[in-house]
């Protein structure tokens, strides 16, 4: 994983628009959040391999970054992105890692299922 | 001496801190040890630091780490059952049938798993519950001994103190090798692993289990 370079992410977002895409979208505070600190709330969700299509999208912010994708009838939004997989040229693999390196959010788009 | 040991845990690395010393001991004593690992830890949050894994690459990385950990312990029979991390409790029918097949094939004398209800992660609790319920269905005379691992808040108030304490000091090097095999998970603590033999024995030399009693 490489720290996010916004122009490169924007090029990939533009290259994936107006087509059916598989999405993996996730956010988690970790299954052990409340075990380690009772004041914390264990919350997580992920949706994997739902099919979406967006007409426009962009990356915003100065890091951690936000991505918004405008779909036909709604929005997909992620905040907290820090890294992307630079070796992936067809798929957009992004994640947000905290100060300890733990994954907090993930947003992935691909023409093929994950 | 245990002859046939079946370990059932949901995530690669669940074996490392709590039971790898005990398993190394059983292997050295000549027991056949089977480790059924339900998932490839696909949804783990630790991805190395700085992160070297992504959601896409993590399963294959954790599979290699699991195989390295088993090699360090001496486990030759590793079964990867193909469940998906975080979904074990929602796949209970398939899980129960996997457990029943394993019990019927291996006829273990000892089974090690998580204590249902006292193991924090929903995958841990679901795994323990399926193992316990599958064993409960066996005729009483055929039921193996069951050792459980528990660590939820307040577990000792609910289920008492562990009744099985293993001295695994002679196996701390295998145990440390098991832990450090899981590089994507424990990279942050690997620095702490450069311990003297005496420090390692103090920190990792004891493993604790609860014998499950079928009321």
Find chain A residues with C-beta within 8 A of B86's C-beta: 31, 44, 46
Residue A111 touches partner B, C-beta closer than 8 Å: no
In the predicted model, what is the mean pLDDT of residues A14-38?
91
Residue A57 touches chain B, beta carbons under 8 Å: no
For chain B, the first-to-last Cα distance in angstroms comes to 25
The answer, yes or no, to whether residue B160 has pLDDT greater than 70, is yes
Per-residue confidence at A36, pLDDT binned at 50, 70, 90? Answer: confident
Higher pLDDT, B51 or B109: B109
* B117 or B197, greater pLDDT: B117
Whether residue B157 is predicted with pLDDT greater than 90 in this model: the reply is yes
The pLDDT tens digits of the residues spanning B14-30 come to 999 999 999 999 999 99
Tell if the CB–CB gap between B51 and A46 is shorter than 8 Å. Answer: no
A31-45, B78-92, B113-127: range with lowest mean pLDDT? A31-45
Q: Which residues of B touch A80 (CB under 8 A)?
A: none
Q: pTM for the complete prediction? A: 0.92
Answer yes or no: do B51 and A103 touch at CB < 8 A. yes
Report d(CA B144, CA B3) in Å as an integer: 11
Rg of chain A taking only CA atoms, in angstroms: 14
- Closest in A26, A83, A101 to B46, CB measured: A101
Provide the pLDDT for residue B190.
64
B103-130 average pLDDT score: 97
Q: What is the mean pLDDT of chain B?
A: 95
Q: Which residues of B7-31 are buried (b: 16+ CB within 10 A; e: fewer)?
A: bbbbbbbbbbbbbbbbbbbbbeeeb
Q: What is the average pLDDT across B76-88?
A: 97
A85 and B152 within 8 Å at the Cβ level: the answer is no
Distance CA B213, CA B215 (A): 6
Q: Which pLDDT score is estimated for B101?
A: 98
Q: How many CB pairs under 8 A join A and B?
A: 70
- In whole angstroms, give the CA distance from residue A107 to residue A95: 6
Contact B52 A97 (CB under 8 A): no
pLDDT digits (tens, 9 = 90+) for B168-209: 999 999 999 999 999 998 876 666 667 888 988 999 999 999
Return the residue in A2, A103, A114 with the most chain B beta carbons within 10 A, the one to mutate for interface testing: A103
């Amino acid at each position: 994983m490489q720290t996010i370079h916004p122009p490169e992410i924007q090029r990939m977002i533009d290259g994936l628009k107006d087509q059916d895409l598989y999405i993996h979208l996730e956010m988690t505070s970790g299954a052990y959040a409340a075990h380690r600190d009772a004041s914390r709330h264990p919350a997580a969700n992920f949706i994997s391999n739902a099919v979406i299509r967006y007409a426009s999208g962009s990356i915003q912010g100065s890091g951690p970054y936000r991505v918004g994708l405008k779909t036909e009838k709604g929005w997909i939004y992620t905040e907290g992105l820090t890294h992307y997989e630079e070796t992936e040229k067809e798929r957009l693999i992004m994640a947000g890692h905290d100060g300890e390196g733990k994954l907090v959010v993930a947003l992935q788009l691909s023409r093929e299922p994950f | 001496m245990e002859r046939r040991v079946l370990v059932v845990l949901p995530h690669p690395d669940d074996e490392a801190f709590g039971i790898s010393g005990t398993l190394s001991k059983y292997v050295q004593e000549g027991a056949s040890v089977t480790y059924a690992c339900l998932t490839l830890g696909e949804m783990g949050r630790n991805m190395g630091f700085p992160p070297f894994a992504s959601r896409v690459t993590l399963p294959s990385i954790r599979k290699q780490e699991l195989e390295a950990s088993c090699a360090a312990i001496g486990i030759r029979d590793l079964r990867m059952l193909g469940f998906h991390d975080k979904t074990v409790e929602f796949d209970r029918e398939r899980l129960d049938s996997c457990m029943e097949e394993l019990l019927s094939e291996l006829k273990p004398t000892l089974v090690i798993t998580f204590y249902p209800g006292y193991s924090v992660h929903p995958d841990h609790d679901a795994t323990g519950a399926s193992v316990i319920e599958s064993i409960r269905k066996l005729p009483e005379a055929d039921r193996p001994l069951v050792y459980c691992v528990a660590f939820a808040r307040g577990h000792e108030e609910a289920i008492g103190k562990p009744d099985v304490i293993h001295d695994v000091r002679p196996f701390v090097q295998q145990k440390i090798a098991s832990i450090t095999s899981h590089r994507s998970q424990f990279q942050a603590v690997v620095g702490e692993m450069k311990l003297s033999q005496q420090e390692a024995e103090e920190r990792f030399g004891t493993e604790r289990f609860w014998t499950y009693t079928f009321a």
